[in-house]
């Protein structure tokens, strides 16, 4: 794959012979000169411990990336979505004000 074909936010299939035993999918977070930073979104359950050690992210050379036709059926990594909700103050907090 060429650098011009890679876009931030795109889901791509990737391989890494050194870190993970099986192909995986990831969302492009950053593009470098010869590689891209992927947030791993789907992977083989056998690679779970390695994915956790990598904090669900990995830099992959463009030559090891492919376009995805359909989402993988492997294990899906948790996303880092943060949900914020308003918490009601305790009665003690209200009384002290």
Distance, CA of 26 to CA of 12 (rounded, Å): 6
Query: Looking at residue 93, what is its pLDDT?
Result: 54
Which residues of the chain carry a pLDDT beneath 50? 79-80, 82-84
| Radius of gyration of the chain from its Cα atoms, rounded to whole angstroms | 19
Helices (H), 1-97: 48-53, 91-96
- The pair of three-digit structure tokens given for residue 6, joined into one six-digit string: 């890679």
Distance, CA of 65 to CA of 24 (rounded, Å): 10
pTM (2 d.p.): 0.70
């Amino acid at each position: 794959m060429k650098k011009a074909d890679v876009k931030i936010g795109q889901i791509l299939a990737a391989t890494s012979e050194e870190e993970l035993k099986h192909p995986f999918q990831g969302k492009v977070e950053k593009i470098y000169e010869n590689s891209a930073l992927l947030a791993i979104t789907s992977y083989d359950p056998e690679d779970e411990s390695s994915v956790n050690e990598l904090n669900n992210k990995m830099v992959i050379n463009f030559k090891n990336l492919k376009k995805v036709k359909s989402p993988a059926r492997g294990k899906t990594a948790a996303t880092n979505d943060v949900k914020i909700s308003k918490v009601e103050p305790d009665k003690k907090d209200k009384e002290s004000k």
